[in-house]
Structure 1
Amino acid sequence: MVKKKSKPNNDNVMATNRKARHDYFIEETFEAGIALTGTEIKSVRERRVTLKDGFVSFRNGEAFLQNIHINEYTEGNQFNHDPLRNRKLLLHKKEIRKLSDAVQTKGVTVVPLKMYLKHNFAKVLIGVAKGKHEYDKRHDIKARDQKRQIDRVMKHY
């Protein structure tokens, strides 16, 4: 029997980065594992994560997630973690090489889009992102409002 690929449903999503889709064009996405300590995974399961200012950096052939805030675990003691520490991403070498080559282009960065649990492991959906200009943001808002208005009118027919 073939197993179906499981997509992250809303029950498993621990945090989303809504600001990323507003500020960037997302060109490509990758799923990456994330190396967490014991108290960090407990805080993630309590949905105490902020992805807003996060980005991915590359050093020595490894990818690190930076500026992700995982609150300290409330029941933790002296073994609690630093909320803003850099966390290693678990990716294949080909994927790391592809992402680091993409970042060399001007105006391109790698940002976290979503953190979720998959088979009780924490995963991060990261995207290769290109910055939007102010007029691009206004155009997106205008298109979304027009679509909403059309849907509202079509609902009655």
Structure 2
Amino acid sequence: MKIISKNKKAYFNYELLEKIEAGMVLTGAEIKSIRLGEVSLQDSYVTFSNNEAYIVNMNVSTYKFSRIFVVEPLRKRKLLLNAREIKRLQQEQKLKNLTIIPIMVYLNSAGRAKLEIALGRGKKLHDKRDVIKNREAQRETKYKKI
């Protein structure tokens, strides 16, 4: 497994409850661009329409050697999930007020691009402050030992 891009802000802004692996419908130029690492998950999220899941605002830069078929970098991309998974995710999103956030893009052993998404609950400001405080305390104890 080769990790291409991680959404580090998601770990800070959300309490992640459950992670799910999903495939993506991509064009040839997009997969080549992803293999070069030209993808960003910042400000992206998952939506549903017509019982299908889509990732919105995932920025896949245009492949510089593609001349004929150029796609928009921020287009909606369909996610490949089972119908049961899509229905369950929709229900949990509505009932529990959860957000579905992309965590990372990676290539599996077969060379296919996969997206790891997670159900997350937004952290409050005081929770974020506690995380920062704990991180600074760990840093101080680490440097005191040395």
Could you state the TM-score of these two structures normalised by the residue count of structure 1? 0.87
Where does structure 1 differ by over 6 angstroms across 4 or more consecutive aligned residues?
none
Out of 101-110 and 133-142, give the one that drifted further.
Answer: 101-110
Partner of 2:33: 43
Give distance in 2, aligned partners of 1:76 and 1:105.
44
The superposition leaves residues 98-125 of structure 1 with CA deviations (integer Å, 9 ceiling, x where unpaired) of: 1111110364110100000002000001
Give distance in 2, aligned partners of 1:71 and 1:101.
33
Cα-Cα RMSD = 1.4
Give distance in 1, aligned partners of 2:12 and 2:129.
10
Gaps of 5+ in 2: none
Partner of 1:136: 127
Match of 2:80 among 90, 110, 114: 90
For 1:59, give the aligned amino acid: S
Out of 21-30 and 104-113, give the one that drifted further.
Answer: 104-113
User: % of aligned pairs identical?
Assistant: 39
For 2:60, give the aligned amino acid: I
Q: What does residue range 54-133 of structure 1 map to in structure 2 within 5 Å?
A: 54-105=44-95, 107-118=97-108, 119-133=110-124
Match of 1:31 among 21, 32, 55: 21
| Count of residues in Structure 1 that have an aligned counterpart in Structure 2 | 145
Gaps of 5+ in 1: 1-7
Give distance in 2, aligned partners of 1:148 and 1:135.
20
Out of 99-108 and 41-50, give the one that drifted further.
Answer: 99-108
Could you state the TM-score of these two structures normalised by the residue count of structure 2? 0.93
